[in-house]
Chains A and B, each alone.
Chain A
């Protein structure tokens, strides 16, 4: 299953709740304000880094750029993708759950 998260983990528990319900082998895609969850060195980065042992993480590049987050500030191992990559992920996983 593909999970999408569009909230900053510093503002809401959405990403935390998503991670708690993401099974091994599933994927989490950070979109919109969710991309703040991909940043290194935040209070919430350790939560993401720990989850990455079992779950693949992706982030929308255009959303990062819009917010002035350079790729060098993204946690190592998170794949930066565009909307075409987003479509591929939705196709690859059998269903998508949007954590709103």
Chain B
């Protein structure tokens, strides 16, 4: 029986390693065939922004890896609307994350679901395991 795992991301990338190492857990965890969801709220929404360029810092830009999540069957990516708005962002500022739906003739679909704080609270409540980074 699979469990519902939620990875909660509330921290911005690069200032600390939590975003990167959280992504590493998600990628490894995908092999365990559990029911996986990701939540991005507070400064965590900055992890998904387009246009990250890290070459002048001398650190790896790991944002393209989010686009690979669909290939790992990780396609429930919840982004909190209030957190985006508080930071002057909209969906257009975020990376386009998609997956191919095998139940719908492999149609390409958006992985990102914009949810309210109230909806996210219900999503959190519906999990078996919540990991926060």
Contacts and interface: CB of A to CB of B under 8 A. Distances in A.
Are A and B close enough to touch in the complex, i.e. CB under 8 Å?
yes
Contacts of B124: 1, 21, 97
B129 A17 contact: no
Interface string B113-133: 000010011101101111011
Contacts, number: 34
A42 interface: no
Nearest to B43: A13
B10 interface: yes
B42 interface: yes
Interface in A50-100: 95-100
Query: Which of the listed residues B10, B41, B124, B133 has the most CB atoms from chain A within 10 Å of its own CB?
Result: B124
Contacts of B121: 20-23
Q: Is the interface of B mostly helix, strand, loop or mixed?
A: mixed
Contacts of B42: 13, 17
A100 B117 contact: no
Interface in B77-133: 117, 120-122, 124-125, 127-130, 132-133
A95 B129 contact: yes
A1 B120 CA distance: 14
Nearest to A21: B121
Given A1-B124, A14-B10, A17-B41, 7 more contacts: A17-B42, A21-B120, A22-B121, A26-B125, A95-B129, A97-B124, A100-B10
Interface of B: 8, 10, 41-42, 117, 120-122, 124-125, 127-130, 132-133
